[in-house]
Amino acid sequence: MPELSKAFEELTVDNCTFSRAQIRATFYPKFENEKSHQEIRTRMIEMVAHGQATLEVSLKHSGSLFMYAGHKGGAYAKNSFGNVYTAVGVFVLGRMFHEAWGTQARKKQSEFNDFLEENRICISTELVTAVLGDHGQRPIDDYVVVTAVTELGNGKPRFYSTPDLIAFCRKWRLPTNHVWLFSTRKSATSFFASYDALCEEGTATPVCKALDEVADISVPASKDHVKVQGEILEGLVARIVSHDSLKHMKKVLEDFPPPPLDGLGLDLGPSLRDICAANRSDEKQQIKALLQSAGTSICPDFADWFGDGAGGAHSRNADRSVLSKFLQAHPADFSTTKLQEMIRLMKQRHFPAAFKCYHNYHKIESLSRFFVDVNVFKVNKEKAAEVSKDSNSLLKNVNGTHDSSSSVDGLADEDANLMVKLKFLTYKLRTFLIRNGLSILFKDGPSAYKTYYLRQMKNWGTSAVKQRELSKMLDEWAVYIRRKCGNKPLSSSIYLSELEPFLEQYAKRSAENRALVGAAGNLVSSENFLAIIEGGRDEEGDLHLEAAIPPPASLDSVPKHEGLIVFFPGIPGCAKSALCKEILNAPGSFGDDRPIHSMMGDLIKGKYWQKVADECKKKPQAIILADKNAPNEEVWGQIEDMCRRTTASAVPVIPESEGTDSNPFSLDALAVFMFRVLQRVNHPGNLDKGSPNAGYVLLMFYHLYEGKNRKEFEGELYERFGALVKMPLLKMDRKPLPNSVKAILEEGINLYRLHSSKHGRLEPSKGTYRKEWTEWEKRLRAVMFKNADYLNSVQVPFDLAVKQVMQQLKEAAKGEHMTPDSGKRRFGNIVFAAVTLPVTDIKLTLSKVASKDPKAEAFLESIRLEDNLQKAHVTLAHKRSHGVTAVASYGVFQDQEVPVDFTAMFFTDKMAALEARLGSVNGEKVVSKNQWPHATLWTAPGTAAREANALPELHLEGKATRIDIDPPITVSGVLEFY
């Protein structure tokens, strides 16, 4: 029997009712709590940095666990034994021998079986085939990769180190995985940063290339993933191994060069796919054909599959007393001890598990007369939580019987089991979002499917940009496949036959789509050679299909433990207060029973957003309507902070508008907002028809959004909050804005710019242009009311707008959003590395420069930099411009303080920047990959920040001003990933 601690951990990865941490705890006493990925990563890096261990990373192939302990020891899969899964595994393993040894294959197979059985060795492999159902991508070829070798012995089993595994496999010419070793802080941090930069769009080629560049040693796989499985890469497995692994690996690679493949070019007989296609009558027929083709050297008889001939096939309804006898028996070895402990625990807690007992026909006359197959069923989240909570103490009691002081390769048990699986979004979208959502889509419809996939992405922490892109694609997929299949659900076993052509066409539309999909096309058709799997089991094993899918009711349930903040990045007159009133007057409008509380800014004295934060803290489960305009990033940052502190979510509601090149709101929208305000009477905030400077106030709010076009505005809100609700404003088929209205608005905008340039935020009645303002306000009212019919006719009816907003808000309240992330990302979805600078220190630096140079002073005043500068950083490397490994190389400096010397200021009428000279961290100089390191201070509307890179060249051409800072001014910042 294979070593069960390793086997059962793999058995339960997809099908367990309780956490993997509990399973590990049964076998590994110190590993009682599943740590977060970030904790594990930090621990790994620190161990490597202090010379205590090496970080080992290997590819995760998209296949199934298959274990082999010799033809007498048995063949086992995570999908049980004695069925088509293990028959396929035996055949593919046998085919690997033929490819490797050629005419000597039969002899080597016999030697290999004898060696395994004499030494009680079990090999674990990843079985990758196209005949057992679709996963993330249909493999081009059918193969196995050896992932573990275990000496069972009589005491605690010994797992081979990776160098020993490679030596073992090269001796027997078995396929090995791609492995990378990282033995320094720099290489280990670069690895994790590389993954973070690629996690949402990584495929096999760029991932392997990036890891090859940052690893201390790279050992290529026997089978090239791209050639045998394709570009879609499931993920990486990172774990801690002995500090001496690097030295050990180098010695093994010297002593065991890659073996030849003597079977290349030989006729190896029918392939796996040929055999499955030719034997489509039933599962037993396929099994028999596969085993016959594998040959007697690897499968001398069919007893495990079909019995000994006397009693027929082994019964799935064996005597239940067998299990009781097994639990009372004295264990012969460590593996049996741990299996007994596991089963006792499961029976004590009444876990929904079936224990199926089969005869072992190889040992029918010996003491070992049975084989136990543990089949764990899925249950709902509530039951799983109950199991998790109640079993901790039992696990501790079970673990008390095991000697926990042992070590593996010099590592304590706790550290020896530090492992993290890092999967890629291009794989997850195919497997989890599409395949696993098919039943929901066809049974419960697109709405339930949308709830399902949005919740999955939220749980993964998928970036808002990718959520938006995936949502668009998945909605289109849902319409496409339901239209094509009608009422007949698409089989998850062959779903790629429909999905791959869809993805291929989708990817052709744009570069963004290609990055989202990762790879598509070159479909391997599998319909005619799928293995026959007994009814009631899916491609993952013996589970019943209905039990494998969570009930729809749980998908539609609303999380009651989180609050929701609804806020309005708009302009006075956008109808936010009227909307809030409608929401309050419609009980249950959010689809749940959370209390709704509206906070009108005009009625609240003091610091409004602090009052909202206090309310969130007092009522963490409430839905709060923040009835106040939220026009700038400072406010958005405060709302993000509220969400982080209270685990609430936030949803911005914005008026729909086309916008301009430099403002998210068009003049048409501004005209309607002004018209609405000028019709108000008795407004709580005194901004109504009686206000002498109502037009000025609207222009002031309008200019708070200046510098962002509509796409940038919506993108930033979505990036921060993961959701965006749009309130219809203007009819699509409206007539153009009358010239008189356009002219009066443009006149007001010009007047506002003159006034603010000279007086800042001084009231219009107290400045140089007070007479002009009085005249303009009077003419504004005349023009607006003269065009009242037009302004009324172009607006979307308010009741219709409310209805659409309410529907969007209801979806947001159901959890179809993500908890907002901060502007910077500590891990996951890295785009660039930069030194973040304190804005206060930058402003102080500019003040010093201005005090010494009149030109600098005049320029800084003209652009009102003191008011407009919100953030500053020095970019070190960008993923698109410099490559993944360039960005990842800064991982060793992450969160470290970096001194930055500013040596000059450059500016034109469109942009300004400070020239930067980077200092050192722990004696190592930080070097920017940018040719000209700098901190961009300002760009005019319509000017991209990246254009500041050209300032030195513009200066040489006489088109930019340079002001030297002598001596340089030093500001310290923190190196971070964004």
- Burial (CB count <10 Å: 0-12, 13-18, 19+), residue 16: buried
> Do the domains spanning 562-656+709-728+796-821 and 832-977 agree at the CATH topology level?
no
Q: Are 349 and 391 in contact (CB under 8 A)?
A: yes
Question: To which residue do tokens 């706790």 refer?
Answer: 414
Give every CB contact of residue 541 below 8 A, 6+ residues apart in sequence: 14, 15, 78, 79, 80, 85, 375
Among 33, 31, 18, 24, which Cα is nearest to 5's? Answer: 24
CATH fold for domain 832-977: 2',3'-cyclic nucleotide 3'-phosphodiesterase fold (3.90.1740)
State yes or no: pLDDT of 731 exceeds 70: yes
* d(C-alpha 56, C-alpha 164), whole Å: 14
Q: Are 72 and 248 in contact (CB under 8 A)?
A: no
* d(C-alpha 452, C-alpha 441), whole Å: 9
Radius of gyration over every alpha carbon of the chain, rounded to an integer in angstroms: 33
Among 240, 252, 244, which Cα is nearest to 57's? Answer: 240
DSSP 3-state of 849 = helix
Residue 605 among the catalytic residues: no
Among 823, 822, 806, which Cα is nearest to 566's? Answer: 806
pLDDT at 409: 53
pLDDT band for 186, please (50, 70, 90 cuts): very high
Tens digits of residue pLDDT in 418-435: 888 999 999 999 999 999
Domain ranges of the chain: 423-517, 562-656+709-728+796-821, 666-704+731-794, 832-977
DSSP state of 686: S
Which has the higher per-residue pLDDT, 73 or 115?
Answer: 115
Question: To which residue do tokens 């040929």 refer?
Answer: 274
Of 162-176, 185-199, 368-382, the range with the lowest mean pLDDT is 368-382
Question: To which residue do tokens 């609050």 refer?
Answer: 563
Global confidence as pTM: 0.67
Among 964, 720, 978, which Cα is nearest to 874's? Answer: 978
DSSP 3-state of 207 = helix
Q: Are 594 and 588 in contact (CB under 8 A)?
A: no
Which has the higher per-residue pLDDT, 815 or 888?
Answer: 888
The predicted model gives 115-129 an average pLDDT of 91
**pLDDT mean across residues, the chain:** 81
Question: To which residue do tokens 């796996």 refer?
Answer: 272
478 to each of 202, 445, 501, 502, 720, how far by Cα in Å?
24, 9, 14, 11, 27
Helices (H) and strands (E) in the chain, counts: 42, 27
SS (H, E, C) 37-93: HHHHHHHHHHHHHCCCEEEEEEEECCCEEEEECCCCCCEEECCECCCHHHHHHHHHH
Among 492, 290, 371, which Cα is nearest to 69's? Answer: 371
Residues in the chain: 978
* d(C-alpha 727, C-alpha 656), whole Å: 6
Sign of CA dihedral 664, 667, 672, 673: positive
pLDDT at 133: 86
State yes or no: pLDDT of 309 exceeds 70: no
Q: Are 413 and 407 in contact (CB under 8 A)?
A: yes
Percent of the chain with pLDDT over 90: 47
Among 275, 949, 852, 230, which Cα is nearest to 524's? Answer: 230
Which has the higher per-residue pLDDT, 344 or 812?
Answer: 344
* d(C-alpha 345, C-alpha 833), whole Å: 48
* d(C-alpha 707, C-alpha 711), whole Å: 12
pLDDT at 304: 67
DSSP 3-state of 181 = strand
The whole-angstrom distance between residue 306's C-alpha and the CA centroid of its chain comes to: 45
- Burial (CB count <10 Å: 0-12, 13-18, 19+), residue 906: buried
Which has the higher per-residue pLDDT, 689 or 828?
Answer: 689
Tens digits of residue pLDDT in 490-518: 988 889 999 999 999 999 999 889 999 99
* d(C-alpha 540, C-alpha 135), whole Å: 10
DSSP state of 815: T
Give every CB contact of residue 732 below 8 A, 6+ residues apart in sequence: none
Of 703-707, 786-790, 898-902, the range with the lowest mean pLDDT is 703-707
DSSP 3-state of 844 = helix
pLDDT band for 3, please (50, 70, 90 cuts): very low
The residue type at 829: N
Tens digits of residue pLDDT in 837-883: 998 899 999 999 999 999 999 999 998 887 778 789 999 999 888 98
Residue 17 exposure: Cα atoms within 13 Å on the Cβ side: 23
SS (H, E, C) 758-804: HHCCCCHHHCCCHHHHHHHHHHHHHHHHHCHHHHHHCECCHHHHHHH
What is the signed CA dihedral for 379, 382, 388, 390, rounded to 10 degrees? -120
State yes or no: pLDDT of 166 exceeds 70: yes
End-to-end alpha carbon distance in the chain: 49
State yes or no: pLDDT of 26 exceeds 60: no
pLDDT band for 320, please (50, 70, 90 cuts): low
Tens digits of residue pLDDT in 955-972: 999 999 999 999 999 999
Among 9, 503, 421, 41, which Cα is nearest to 234's? Answer: 421
Q: Are 425 and 199 in contact (CB under 8 A)?
A: yes
The predicted model gives 783-792 an average pLDDT of 94
pLDDT at 313: 46
Give every CB contact of residue 643 below 8 A, 6+ residues apart in sequence: 565, 649, 650, 819, 820
State yes or no: pLDDT of 176 exceeds 70: yes
Percent of the chain with pLDDT over 70: 82
Tens digits of residue pLDDT in 648-693: 888 999 999 888 878 999 999 999 999 999 998 888 878 888 899 9
Among 948, 916, 920, 928, which Cα is nearest to 882's? Answer: 928
DSSP assignment string, 3-44: -HHHHHHHHTTTT-SS-HHHHHHHHSTT--S---HHHHHHHH
Beta-sheet pairing, 75-77 with 64-68: antiparallel
* d(C-alpha 61, C-alpha 424), whole Å: 12
The residue type at 86: T
pLDDT band for 400, please (50, 70, 90 cuts): very low
Which has the higher per-residue pLDDT, 703 or 326?
Answer: 703
Q: Which of 60, 223, 338, 929 is catalytic?
A: 60
Tens digits of residue pLDDT in 42-58: 899 999 999 999 999 99
User: Across-strand partners of 915?
Assistant: 904, 934
State yes or no: pLDDT of 414 exceeds 70: no
Question: To which residue do tokens 């890469």 refer?
Answer: 233
655-659, Cβ contacts within 8 angstroms, sequence gap of 24 or more = 655/570, 655/571, 655/574, 655/575, 655/726, 655/727, 655/729, 656/726, 656/727, 656/728, 656/729, 656/730, 657/710, 657/729, 657/730, 658/710, 659/709, 659/710, 659/711, 659/713
* d(C-alpha 479, C-alpha 241), whole Å: 48
* d(C-alpha 11, C-alpha 943), whole Å: 56
Of 215-229, 355-369, 610-624, 643-657, the range with the lowest mean pLDDT is 355-369
CATH of domain 562-656+709-728+796-821: 3.40.50.300
* d(C-alpha 521, C-alpha 481), whole Å: 17
Helices (H), 215-333: 225-228, 245-255, 272-278, 283-294, 303-306, 321-328
- The per-residue b/e assignment along 181-211, b for 16 or more CB within 10 angstroms, e otherwise, is bbbbbbbbbbbbbbbbbbbbbbbbebbbebb
